[in-house]
């Protein structure tokens, strides 16, 4: 599957310290995202782990709104390893000026600048698309990292691409992006892929309507919030009961759908009859809930990635996505 990971909301992150969700449409493409991740001087975000495992080569794509207060030497987004704190490779602003993009590595103590662009591609009060292409991570000589700003190659670094204690990359990292209570960046539409992300976009199709049936207690309005609220839920205590929810449509345009990710938060009570949950979709009149996830008594994000429509076995079409329903099933 070309899509290795994707996300852009708090549910997609295991660690979300110093970050928050902001719904002002100034900071993201409202037809695609529904909020932006606001960063701070203390940001330390770590995504869920890439479902296919760690990588040493790949692409990272992100939309970042640069506020008018943005400063130099900021490191808002990058790739790292889940058990290594916030160590990893980062893209941010240069040490000399906030209008230059720069590539950094972080060893847990020091951010070391590997390269910066010659020109000045970054503008304040502007939503930029940034793509990072990493090849041969952990190579001391032939490691390569390319940075694209709004589709234009601005950094092409070859050399030592090692980070102490990190041999591969399995998650997205959010790091420093503000100063003294001032937010510098708003992050949205994050994609990790095994091929070029320069022309890729991410759409968040959140629950916005009742589905065709619902045997659970609760409605789509209980699971449509942009910020995690584990007190506002849908629930059931009967194995086999299903709940369906309608989803927002794609924005207008012509698209190829490379993958769909389903992300929820779930847990079980200490005396619940179901002990797991099946994730799936309803497409073309058929419900497919074949992806099982065990549950504990602690809330956790559960994800399903679908490179093809599980009902048809073929790639999703835009019309199929627009009629798709989220399907949940209580399981033994």
Q: What is the pLDDT of residue 299?
A: 97
What is the tens place of the pLDDT at every residue in 246-264?
999 999 999 999 999 999 9
Report CA torsion sign: 238, 244, 245, 249.
positive
Half-sphere exposure at residue 289, Cβ-oriented, CA atoms within 13 angstroms: 20
- Compute the distance between CA of residue 164 and CA of residue 169 in angstroms, rounded to an integer: 13
What is the tens place of the pLDDT at every residue in 286-321?
999 999 999 999 999 999 999 999 999 999 999 999
Percent of residues, the chain, with pLDDT higher than 70: 100
CATH architecture of 3-193: Sandwich (2.60)
Q: Which of 104-118, 139-153, 157-171, 174-188 has the lowest mean pLDDT?
A: 174-188
Q: What is the pLDDT of residue 69?
A: 83
- Compute the distance between CA of residue 188 and CA of residue 308 in angstroms, rounded to an integer: 24
- Compute the distance between CA of residue 280 and CA of residue 331 in angstroms, rounded to an integer: 13
Report the side by side order of strands in the sheet with 111-116.
13-17, 44-47, 171-174, 77-80, 88-93, 101-106, 111-116
Instruction: Tell me the CA distances in angstroms from 63 to 36, 122, 132, 215, 329, one per residue in order.
Output: 9, 12, 12, 38, 34
CATH architecture of 207-331: Sandwich (2.60)
Query: Fold identical between 3-193 and 207-331?
Result: yes
Residue 181 has pLDDT above 80, yes or no: no
Q: Is the pTM of this model over 0.85?
A: yes
- Whether the Cβ atoms of residue 331 and residue 292 lie closer than 8 Å to each other: yes
- Whether the Cβ atoms of residue 228 and residue 221 lie closer than 8 Å to each other: no
Q: What is the pLDDT of residue 259?
A: 98
Strand, helix or coil for residue 319: helix
- Whether the Cβ atoms of residue 276 and residue 297 lie closer than 8 Å to each other: no
Strand, helix or coil for residue 10: helix
Q: How confident is the model at residue 70 (pLDDT cuts 50, 70, 90)?
A: confident
Strand, helix or coil for residue 27: helix
What is the tens place of the pLDDT at every residue in 87-146?
999 999 999 999 999 999 999 999 999 999 999 999 999 999 999 999 999 999 999 999
Domain spans in the chain, listed from the N-terminal domain onward: 3-193, 207-331
Report CA torsion sign: 308, 311, 314, 316.
negative
């Amino acid at each position: 599957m070309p899509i290795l990971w994707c996300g852009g909301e708090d549910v997609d992150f295991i660690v979300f310290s110093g970050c928050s969700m902001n719904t002002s449409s100034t900071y993201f493409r409202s037809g695609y995202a529904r909020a932006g991740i606001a960063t701070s001087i203390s940001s330390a975000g770590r995504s869920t782990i890439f479902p296919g495992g760690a990588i040493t080569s790949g692409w990272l794509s992100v939309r970042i709104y640069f506020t008018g207060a943005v400063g130099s030497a900021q490191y808002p987004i990058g790739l790292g390893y889940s058990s290594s704190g916030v160590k990893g490779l980062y893209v941010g602003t240069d040490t000399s000026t906030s209008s230059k993009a720069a590539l950094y590595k972080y060893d847990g103590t020091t951010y070391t600048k590997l390269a910066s662009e010659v020109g000045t591609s970054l503008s304040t009060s502007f939503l930029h698309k940034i793509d990072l292409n990493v090849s041969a991570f952990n190579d001391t000589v032939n490691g390569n990292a390319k940075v694209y700003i709004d589709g234009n190659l601005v950094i092409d670094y070859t050399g030592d691409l090692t980070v102490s204690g990190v041999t591969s990359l399995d998650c997205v990292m959010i790091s420093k992006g503000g100063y003294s209570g001032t937010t510098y960046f708003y992050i949205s539409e994050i994609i990790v892929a095994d091929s070029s992300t320069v022309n890729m976009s991410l759409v968040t199709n959140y629950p916005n309507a009742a589905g065709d049936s619902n045997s659970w207690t609760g409605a789509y309005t209980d699971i449509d919030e942009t910020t995690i609220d584990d007190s506002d839920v849908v629930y059931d205590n009967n194995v086999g009961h299903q709940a369906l929810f309608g989803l927002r449509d794609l924005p207008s345009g012509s698209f190829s759908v490379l993958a769909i990710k389903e992300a929820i938060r779930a847990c079980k009570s200490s005396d619940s009859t179901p002990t797991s949950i099946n994730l799936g979709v309803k497409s073309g009149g058929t419900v497919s809930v074949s992806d099982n996830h065990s549950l504990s008594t602690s809330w956790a994000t559960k994800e399903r990635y679908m490179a093809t429509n599980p009902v048809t076995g073929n790639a999703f079409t835009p019309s199929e996505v627009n009629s798709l329903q989220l399907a949940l099933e209580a399981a033994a």
